[in-house]
Amino acid sequence: MTLTCIMLALLFAGGSAWRAENHWQGSAKWLALIALALLATVFAVFVMSASNDFAQLQVLSRVSWIESFNIEYSIALDQLSIVLITLTWLLAIICVLVSWYEIQSNVGFYYFNLLLTIAGIIGVFVAVDMFLFFFFWEVMLLPMTAIIAIWGHENRQFAALKFFIFTQVSSLLMLVAIIGTGYFHLMQTGQLSFYYPDWLLLDIPLSISQYLMFGFFIAFAVKLPSVPVHSWLPDAHTQAPTAGSVLLAGVLLKTGAYGLIRFVIFLFPQASLQFAPIAATLAVVSIVYGAKMAFAQQDFKRLVAYSSISHMGFVMLALFAFNSTAYQGAIVTLVAHGLSSAALFSLAGMIYQRIHSRNLTDMGGFWQSAPRMGGFALAFAGAAFGLPGLANFIGEFFSLVGAFQVMPAFTIIAALGLIGSAIYGMVLFQTSFQGAAKQDIIDLQLRELLICGSLLLMLLAIGLYPTLLLKFSFGV
């Protein structure tokens, strides 16, 4: 009940931010910030005070929705979704902070879209009725497309369209898989059902489940993204406004990983096991290819976007290793990448606001005029190339240790990604902050320090004391 209220409250807050901006200029961002902070607190209190520990999936509410198809409104929480929702709250607040001065037109509508996306994302993480899941999946997509298309950079329409078509086509396959599995439930038990716990009880023969799994897999692989269906990501990330990139890299990609865990691996364990070599190959190719592509980029945000592909490859590799170490590694990588890529995109936004360019060739020597920014850039680039002591290292190390036990050859190639990441990390940091000073820029202001500082602190905390995250068993 509380969760439903939180989502509705987000919607309401978005709507009122839209209205309020028309009457009092500058009120929308405050409204959004306060609403997010308040609702995040409510969520935290709700989870803390709950009697159970969410080790298993806890169904929180179940109401009939479309009775003729036995579709329900049912939501549930477990530790995995709690971790990801917490990450969503954090990054949502960061998103509002980075858009503070960046968004100048249609401000009210912008915050409406932002809050709607966040509501959709939270819905995705809690829905356990598959139809509802699909509904939220689409809810999350539309306002995001709007954010890219309206407030993005020069090529925004194209990027938004590409993002929309990729996601839409792939989610169509997922819809087919959802209906297929529901229909199979009808065949096996005589009743149509889209309820996830019901599906877990199904015993689907491998010959059918491999196709169903594949439908889900494609949808989530596009979202993750994995080579060869990754190419919406560089465009979308590059063209989106800063908050859009932060949200995309920080949380939206994680819905793909979340889907892989919950609806591919847990739902079709056998089919996934059979599929593992292909998935691992894709993962390894993503890691190496993403790192290589990142090196070739001239655009700050595009470089970070390709590095995301590389990092998500580690997640995929770990997930298809089927052991708890790798699984923990995948979760830590998700959170760590959420924080570090959000940080890098925020930095890109801050630089863009100062020099109105994302091109690395326009940058150089910023360290001289903006040492604080340089320090943060180095730390975040360090996180991206897996510097021990920061969260990403723990994630990657766990992923590799886990994966190595199952598929050493793949893991060794994946480890070569560490070299690639060092190369693009160095290129990113050195071309923008070292070298001769091309121009002087203003150093970080209080608001920006707050953003970077909090992200760095979280990265450090997880890196040095990963037990914070690892204590969750995630119900393997």
Partner 1 sequence: MNVLLASLPFYPFVSFLLLIFFGKRLSWRLAATISVSSMAISALVSAILLFELSVTKNQVMTANLWHWFELSYAMGSSDVNVRFYLDGLSAVMISVVTGVGFLIHLFAAIYMKSDVNFSRFMAYMNLFIVAMLILVLADNLVLLYLGWEGVGLCSFLLIGFWYQEQSNVLAARKAFIVTRIGDTSMAIGLLLLFNSFGQLNIEAVTLLAEQANSLSAGTNAESADNIYWIALLLLGGAVGKSAQLPLQTWLPDAMAGPTPVSALIHAATMVTAGVYLIARMHGIFLLAPEVMNYVAWLGALTLLLAGIAALAQTDIKRVLAYSTMSQIGYMMLALGAGAWTAGVFHLMTHAFFKALLFLTAGAVIYALHHQQNLFKMGGLLKKLPFESSLFIIGLICLMALPGTSGFFSKEAIIAQLWSSDTAGPMLWWCAILGALLTSIYSCRLFFLGFLGKARFNENVQLKKSSLLRTSLIILALLSLFGGLIPLDLTLVFSSVMNLPLAQLTEPTWLHTVAIITPFIGMVFSWFYFKSYRISHLAGKEHILQPNNGRFVVFCRQGLGFDGLYKKLFIMPYQWLAQINKNDIFDQIIMLNAWYVGLWHDALVLVQNGSLRWYLAAFGLAIMLLLGVSLL
- Chain positions contacting partner 1, by CB under 8 A: 227-231, 234, 292-293, 295-297, 323-325, 365, 367-368, 371, 375, 378, 382, 387-389, 393-394, 397-398, 400-401, 404-405, 408, 411-412, 415-416, 418-419, 422-423, 426-427, 430, 433-437, 464-467, 470
For residue 408, whether the previous peptide bond is cis, meaning omega lies within 30 degrees of 0, is no
CA distance 374 to 365: 9
DSSP state of 106: S
Query: Using CB atoms within 10 A of its CB, is residue 294 exposed (0-12), middle (13-18) or buried (19+)?
Result: buried
Task: Decide whether 143 or 329 has the Cβ nearer to partner 1.
Answer: 329
Report yes or no: 256 and 224 within 8 Å, Cβ to Cβ: yes
SS3 sequence, 406-457?
A: HCHHHHHHHHHHHHHHHHHHHHHHHHHHCCCCCCCCCCCCHHHHHHHHHHHH
The count of residues in the chain is: 476
* Residue 305 neighbours by CB under 8 Å, 6+ apart: 233, 234, 236, 237, 238, 245, 249
CA angle 89, 90, 91 (to 5 degrees): 95
Q: How far is the CB of 359 from partner 1 (least distance, A)?
A: 14
Task: Decide whether 1 or 436 has the Cβ nearer to partner 1.
Answer: 436
Report yes or no: 246 and 91 within 8 Å, Cβ to Cβ: yes
Task: Decide whether 107 or 456 has the Cβ nearer to partner 1.
Answer: 456
Task: Decide whether 5 or 419 has the Cβ nearer to partner 1.
Answer: 419
Q: How far is the CB of 8 from partner 1 (least distance, A)?
A: 38
CA nearest to 219, candidates 273, 168, 265: 168
Q: How far is the CB of 274 from partner 1 (least distance, A)?
A: 21
Q: How far is the CB of 228 from partner 1 (least distance, A)?
A: 4
Task: Decide whether 176 or 418 has the Cβ nearer to partner 1.
Answer: 418
CA nearest to 199, candidates 219, 179, 217: 179
Question: Which one-letter amino acid corresponds to residue 119?
Answer: A
Question: Which one-letter amino acid corresponds to residue 341?
Answer: S
Beta bridge partners of 74: 62
Task: Decide whether 273 or 412 has the Cβ nearer to partner 1.
Answer: 412
Q: How many CB atoms lie within 10 A of CB 51?
A: 5
Q: How far is the CB of 457 from partner 1 (least distance, A)?
A: 14
CA distance 126 to 149: 28
Report yes or no: 452 and 347 within 8 Å, Cβ to Cβ: yes
Task: Decide whether 182 or 382 has the Cβ nearer to partner 1.
Answer: 382
Task: Decide whether 120 or 290 has the Cβ nearer to partner 1.
Answer: 290
Half-sphere exposure of 462 (CA within 13 A, CB side): 31
Q: Which pairs count as long-range contacts for 291-296, CB under 8 Å and 24+ apart, including other chains? A: 291/417, 291/420, 291/421, 291/423, 291/424, 292/420, 293/234, 294/420, 294/421, 294/424, 295/420, 295/423, 295/424, 295/427
Q: How far is the CB of 382 from partner 1 (least distance, A)?
A: 7
Task: Decide whether 230 or 311 has the Cβ nearer to partner 1.
Answer: 230
Q: How far is the CB of 277 from partner 1 (least distance, A)?
A: 19
Can you read off the two tokens belonging to residue 453? 């500082």
Q: How far is the CB of 104 from partner 1 (least distance, A)?
A: 31
Q: How far is the CB of 234 from partner 1 (least distance, A)?
A: 7
Task: Decide whether 2 or 323 has the Cβ nearer to partner 1.
Answer: 323
Q: How far is the CB of 389 from partner 1 (least distance, A)?
A: 6
